[in-house]
Structure 1
Amino acid sequence: MLAADFSKGLENFDLNISFTLGHEIMALTGPSGSGKTTLLNCIAGIVQPDQGEISLNGRIFYTEGKRPLKIQKRKVGYLFQDYALFPHFTAEQNIFYSMQGKRDSPMLKELIHILGIEEILAKYPHQISGGEKQRVALARALVAKPDILLLDEPFSALDDDTRDRCHHQLLRIHDRWQIPVIFVTHRKSDAEKLAHRSLRIERGQMAEQ
């Protein structure tokens, strides 16, 4: 279970967060600049809160007055909004970048099959579509066997058909992995289709929907 109870000062307001999340999918909605990505970054360890506490399955990520847990030790899978693929790496090399252990593991083969990316592993990011980039980035986020998955507007650049396929793949992966998932979206339909819960954030203040 993820437990987040913290505050972080932003340029024009304070972000105040307090929620718990089990093995569910939660959507973060709200206007641009309201603090949604900062929330993800605090969980991942890219940004540190000013006060409060963040923990996952009893492991303390951050608590006020103590050194925060390093990013590498948090076991967080993060899919960035622009996917952040290395342009000079093939899709396969991008996936392997964050992987530890055998590259022919059954788990990796299953993940590649679920995402349907077998035929693009030898291609470079500029040779594949937006939906394919999204699936490669998702595979890279999952191969390290994370305890939580964070997705920052993962469907924003996709056409309707590709978005539907990616929705299906995310639900299939969640059903298989049973880990907490938090995704940011501006589309009400994404939240309604995928999320067990929705959390709306406006100017740093949250309201469960």
Structure 2
Amino acid sequence: MLNVDFRKQLEQFELHMQFQMGKEIVAVVGSSGSGKTTLLNCIAGIMQPDAGGISLHGTDFYKESKKPLKIQKRRVGYLFQDYALFPHLSVEQNILYGTSRNDDITHISELTKILDISMLLSKYPHQISGGEKQRVALARALAAKPDLLLLDEPFSALDDETRSRCQYELLRIHDLWSIPVIFVTHRIDDAQKLAKRCIRIEKGRMTEQLQP
């Protein structure tokens, strides 16, 4: 269970988020600058709230008056909007980047097959398409077997055919891994297709939680 209840002062408003979620897919929608990416960054540990708390399965990520849990210990997979692949590393090296030498990585072979990127492992980011980059970034986010997956506008740069394929692959992985997934999107169609629940944010405030 993910528990989120925090406040974070931004330049133009205070972001206040309060919700719980289990092993489901939740969409976060809202206009640009409403606080959606800040929500993900606070959960991942890239930013810290000003007050409140964030916990996953009873482990405090952030709790007021306590030292925040380090990013590396949060076991959170994060797919950034621009995918953030390292251009000087091969696809395989990008995928393995978040793993350590002692990790069991036998699942990664299955992951690359599910995402249909096995033939890309020796290539570099500039040699693959946008849809392939998205799948590589998703594989990297899942490589360390996270307890939570965060996706920031994962389908925004994809054409319709590639978007549908990547959405299908995400649903398939969620069925197999059964972990909480939060994804930020501007597209109501994405929320309707993927999410069990939709949270709308406007100017830092949750205006509604609803079935998409």
TM-score bracket for this pair, using the shorter chain length: over 0.9
Cα gap change, 1:33 to 1:100, in 2 (>3 Å): same
**Which runs of no fewer than 5 residues in structure 1 stay unpaired?**
none
Asked if 1:111 corresponds to 2:111, the answer is: yes
Superimposed CA distance per residue, residues 152-200 of structure 1 (whole angstroms, 9 cap, x where no aligned partner): 0000000000000000000000000000000000011000000000000
Identity %: 67
Q: Secondary structure at the match of 1:134?
A: helix
Match runs of 1:125-164 below 5 Å: 125-164=125-164
SS in 2 for 1:170: helix
Q: When the two structures are aligned, how many residues end up with a matched partner?
A: 209
Shift of 1:109: 1.1
1:33 is paired with a residue whose SS is: coil
In the alignment, structure 1 residue 208 sits paired with structure 2 residue 209: yes
The RMSD of aligned alpha carbons is 1.1
Distance in 2 (CA, whole Å) between partners of 1:184 and 1:16 is 16
TM-score norm. by structure 2 comes to: 0.96
Matched, 1:70 2:70: yes
Is the Cα–Cα contact under 8 Å of residues 16 and 204 in structure 1 kept in the other structure?
yes
What corresponds to 1:100 in structure 2?
A: 100
Q: Is the 8 A contact 1:96 1:103 kept in 2?
A: no
TM-score normalised by structure 1 residue count? 0.98
What is the CA distance between 1:100 and its match in structure 2?
2.5
Question: CA distance change for structure 1 residues 54 and 113 in 2, over 3 Å: closer, same or farther?
Answer: same
CA distance in 1, matches of 2:132, 2:87: 14
Provide closer, same or farther for how the CA distance between residues 110 and 53 of structure 1 changes in structure 2, counting only shifts above 3 A: same
Give, in whole Å, the separation in 2 of the partners of 1:143 and 1:29.
Answer: 27
Instruction: Report how far residue 103 of structure 1 moved.
Output: 8.0
Q: Which position in structure 2 is the counterpart of 1:59?
A: 59
Once the two structures are TM-superposed, the CA of residue 102 in structure 1 deviates from its matched residue by 6.4
